[in-house]
Amino acid sequence: MNDNPYAAPDHGVDRHIVRETTIGNDNFNYMGFWKRVLASIIDNVLLSIACLPMMFLLYQVIKQDTTAELTYNVLSTVASIVVVLLFWQFKQSTPGKMIFSARIVDAETFGKPSFGKLVIRYLGYIPSTLVFCLGFMWVAWDKKKRGWHDMMAGTLVVTPKPQSERRRRRPVNKDEV
């Protein structure tokens, strides 16, 4: 019983459990560690291929100018951040995750995360990397397969369950309510 007279009535139902079972867990699996590693490798290879023309052009300039190397490093870093954030914003995924039909979702609603959450998620890569990449390895141990960056941003990476695994919902009968 809640002693606060202004609080919503307690009906003996844990709202957290109800939310998880009705919104997310019926249709999704959390994307595991090794699939996320493979998706990251694919993304890095594709990003490197996309940066090859810029690298080739700047290589010609680097021969004569030492600041060109710094310019290339800054431009390639900014370009990769922009590309990843754009994929996350418009596709809720990157090409590597798309191979597994994975999406980045809001941990509370299982919907599309806000752009602010996506930026926090990207910035979360910094502490995830600093401690021997422990923040990324955390995915292997976490029950919901979240890295530190996911925890910081309140996001999850999910894949759809195969149709055979989805729990079949029985239509509600008015007489039972």
Within the chain, residue ranges assigned H as helices are: 15-19, 33-62, 67-91, 95-99, 115-123, 125-130, 134-137, 148-153
Do the beta carbons of residue 148 and residue 138 sit within 8 Å? yes
| pLDDT at residue 13 tops 70 | no
Average pLDDT over residues 145-161: 95
- Cα–Cα dist 76/82, whole Å: 10
pLDDT band at 63 (very low <50, low <70, confident <90, very high): low
Contact 44, 23 (CB under 8 A): no
Give me the residue label for tokens 């002693």.
3
How is residue 4 annotated by DSSP? -
Higher-pLDDT residue of 11, 84: 84
Q: What is the pLDDT of residues 65-115, one digit of tens each?
A: 667 777 777 888 888 899 999 999 999 999 999 999 999 999 999 999 999
> Of all residues in the chain, what percent carry a pLDDT higher than 90?
55
pLDDT for the residue numbered 9: 60
Q: 30 has which bridge partners? A: 158
The residue ranking higher by pLDDT, 122 or 172, is 122
Cβ–Cβ under 8 Å, residues 160 and 101: yes
Q: How far apart are CA 105 and CA 36, in angstroms?
A: 15
pLDDT above 70 as % of the chain: 73
Question: Cβ-count burial of 143 within 10 angstroms (0-12 exposed, 13-18 middle, 19+ buried)?
Answer: exposed
Q: Given the structure tokens 């994975």, which residue do they identify?
A: 102
